[in-house]
Every structure is written in structure tokens, then in C-alpha cells.
């Protein structure tokens, strides 16, 4: 019984937290659809806006490479370049 209560409480808390989140709107530019379609499959797009003050063009290239090589994002080289180009042009510091 206690585990059922804990599960219900956890679900309620997660639902409440999610309901209060604002949707992320990224800059409209070439490559946006690839970013939304690939990056958002694994994590929130707010990471892009949060990290943009800290990442240079080289930093964004490294982040895209890390997502593919370290975390296993199934993104081919052409799409990875489009994503990196979008991030560098719109969110590079």
C-alpha cells in the first residue's frame, strides 16, 4: 500500500511540474526543424537557450559531437552539420 501511495504521489508531482513548464520557442532559421526533430527526442530544448551564453562555435560543434559519440544520438553527419550550423549561427556566444 505504501508503494502505491509513493507512486501516486510521484506521478502527481511530476504532472504538476510538467504542467507549469513553458514551451520553448527557438529562433526561426534554417535548420530549426532538424534541431527540433532530433535534439528534442532526448532532452528539452531549453538546454540550447541555457547554454548559449557559454558556448562558442567550437563549443556547439563539441556538444553535437558529444551527443552523437558519447550519448549515442542516431544522427548522421549531414544532419549533425545542419544542427551545429543552426546552433552556431543563432546561439553562439
Neighbours of 73 (CB within 10 A): 19
Residue 62 belongs to a domain: yes
- The number of C-alpha atoms within 13 Å of 36 and in the hemisphere containing its C-beta is 11
What percent of the chain is helix, strand and coil (3-state, nearest 5)? 65, 0, 35
Tens digits of residue pLDDT in 12-48: 555 444 455 567 899 999 999 999 999 999 999 999 9
pLDDT of residue 16: 43
Residue 48 belongs to a domain: yes
d(CA 68, CA 73): 4
Question: In the predicted model, is pLDDT for residue 5 greater than 80?
Answer: no
Higher-confidence residue of 19 and 68: namely 68
Average of per-residue pLDDT across 57-86: 97
Domain of residue 44: give its range: 24-91
- How does residue 61 score in pLDDT terms, banded at 50, 70 and 90? very high
Average of per-residue pLDDT across 46-53: 93
CATH of the domain at 37: 1.10.760.10
In the block, residue with C-alpha cell 541555457? 50
Residue 29 belongs to a domain: yes
Q: What are phi and psi of 7, to 5 degrees?
A: -65, -45
Residue 57 belongs to a domain: yes
d(CA 55, CA 63): 9
pLDDT of residue 24: 82
Amino acid at each position: 500500500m505504501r508503494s502505491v501511495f509513493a507512486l501516486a504521489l510521484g506521478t502527481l508531482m511530476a504532472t504538476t511540474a510538467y504542467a507549469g513548464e513553458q514551451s520553448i520557442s527557438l529562433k526561426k532559421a534554417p535548420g530549426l526543424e532538424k534541431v527540433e526533430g532530433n535534439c528534442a527526442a532526448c532532452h528539452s530544448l531549453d538546454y540550447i537557450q541555457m547554454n548559449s551564453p557559454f558556448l562558442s562555435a567550437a563549443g556547439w560543434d563539441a556538444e553535437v559531437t558529444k551527443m552523437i559519440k558519447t550519448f549515442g544520438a542516431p544522427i548522421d553527419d549531414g544532419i549533425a552539420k545542419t544542427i551545429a550550423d543552426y546552433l552556431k549561427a543563432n546561439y553562439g556566444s
